[in-house]
Amino acid sequence: MRSIKLVPFLAAAATLLALAPAGASARRAHNARPHASHPCRIHLETPKAPIATGESATVFGKLTCPQPAEAAGRQITLYEQSAPKAGFTQVGAATTEPSGAFQVTPPVFTTNSTFYAVSEGAQSSHRTITVSAPITVGPPTPAEGAQLLTSAGNKRRHPPVTFAGEVSLLDAGAVVVLQRENATANEEWRAIGRGTVDGLGRYSIMHNFVIPGDANIRVVVHPRKINAPSATSPMSYEISQAQNPALRLESAADPLLYGQSTTIKGVVAGAAANTPVTLLAHSRAAKGAGFAPLATGHTGTGGSYEFTQTPLTSTFYRVSSATTKSAVLFEGVKYALTVAPAPSTVQAGQPATFSGTVLPAPAGHVVYLERQGSLKLGWHVVDVGVVGAPAKAGEAAAFSIAHAFLSLGSYHLRIKIPGDPGNQGASSAPFDMTVTPAPASALHPEAPGNTRLPGEGQL
């Protein structure tokens, strides 16, 4: 009985042994050329920094065999697992160059994806491409540079400011955080509000500003494993107090570009002509400074007055008369940003240089290279540079960012210097650049500087 029971098992084993050579032959037939004499190895490279939703990314690497000639003309097959899907699927193939180098560009990405490549019986390690969660800001969010009013005071209270936008439906339930940059201007962000992405991919956060001044604001979404965290491009705002009807104060232009002048004007209610008025000010950057007299003048017909000012840094203004004083007006001064013409085309893997100057000269201040993705979901940072020291006091300071693009196609770019306690942020006019093909052997892993992106800040 025992020997009878073993018969099916022995028969099955014999069948498997008979099939083994056939399976090996099938694997050898996968490529037209025979296996290398010893095992080959595959090294795979993917972008280190997150890419934006809707963008493509080139996956590249090299097949290395004991005999270099054996690595040429081999087929490489690329497999991908895209969150939240389970399992890997084939997404591309390539033939190695004489050096064994290869490159594959999978379809555009919307979620985090993991890859591996196989060839010659070898399999690469897994590599991951992280995809930033798409996040936009829109109405009723105030436009960048808007004048906002404080909500302090019972009689002159204004409603809170609403910051709203959209995120991918896949990130429903994710936390969104409203952040304000600290006064250090060192890319330190603190949370001032938070919300949750609803089932339609929308968010809305309300915030009361209580102190006049400038505010550099952004929104960060911190999704689950589907996408990587991402932030909106920082927006600069001006916050002033609500007007005092007895002594009104306004600026003819707000914010100003560095070096521009404005007229500070208003009306002293019921004042006779030639009533003395005093303009007081202190700069935003001067911590703890109180208001100091800056100029004196007299009212005209109907109690009107005006002063001409050319502030070189963001400044608080107030006007006083013998009987009352105005609310605090914050006058923002934007950096004067000049950008040199950028190359219209560049070969993949070759660094393109983006340069320009900034006034005033904030040595050590960050400058962003930003891209607007194909889906036009706002701007996101792709690289960061630093402003150098000016050659002479009072002159503009230069900056330069060298960035190598690895994926082919058109790029819609701009340069942005974010705001700080002294001056408000400024952006260049957008410009376009096309990345053209390059041999796989010319592609190299990203330099460490290409991953130096703004941090998430306090969540």
pLDDT at 379: 85
- Looking at the fold, whether 284 and 218 belong to one and the same domain comes out as no
Among 188, 223, 242, the domain boundary falls at: 242
Among 131, 153, 182, the domain boundary falls at: 131
Provide the CATH number for the domain around residue 340. 2.60.40.10
Domain count, the chain: 5
Among 326, 357, 390, the domain boundary falls at: 326
- 30 lies in some domain: no
- 33 lies in some domain: no
- Backbone φ/ψ region at 225: left (φ over 0), alpha (ψ -120 to 50), beta: alpha
What order do you get walking across the sheet with 135-138 strand by strand?
135-138, 161-167, 202-207
- 55 lies in some domain: yes
pLDDT at 392: 92
CA distances from 10 to 1, 24, 51, 251 (A): 15, 22, 55, 95
Per-residue pLDDT tens over the stretch 354-413? 999 999 999 999 999 999 876 666 788 888 999 999 999 989 999 999 998 888 889 999
- Looking at the fold, whether 124 and 163 belong to one and the same domain comes out as no
- Looking at the fold, whether 254 and 233 belong to one and the same domain comes out as no
- 382 lies in some domain: yes
- 34 lies in some domain: no
Per-residue pLDDT tens over the stretch 420-459? 888 989 999 999 999 999 999 999 877 654 556 676 655 5
- Which domain range does residue 81 map to? 41-131
- Looking at the fold, whether 146 and 222 belong to one and the same domain comes out as yes
- Looking at the fold, whether 236 and 253 belong to one and the same domain comes out as no
- Looking at the fold, whether 297 and 276 belong to one and the same domain comes out as yes
CA distances from 125 to 25, 118, 290, 377 (A): 26, 10, 61, 33
- 302 lies in some domain: yes
- Looking at the fold, whether 71 and 83 belong to one and the same domain comes out as yes
Residue bearing the bigger pLDDT, 374 or 194: 194
- 32 lies in some domain: no
- Looking at the fold, whether 457 and 343 belong to one and the same domain comes out as yes
Contact between 235 and 400 (Cβ < 8 Å): no
- Looking at the fold, whether 97 and 206 belong to one and the same domain comes out as no
- 31 lies in some domain: no
Provide the CATH number for the domain around residue 289. 2.60.40.730
- Looking at the fold, whether 122 and 153 belong to one and the same domain comes out as no
Q: Look up the pTM and report it.
A: 0.80
- Looking at the fold, whether 11 and 77 belong to one and the same domain comes out as no
Q: Is the pLDDT of residue 23 over 70?
A: no
- Looking at the fold, whether 172 and 281 belong to one and the same domain comes out as no
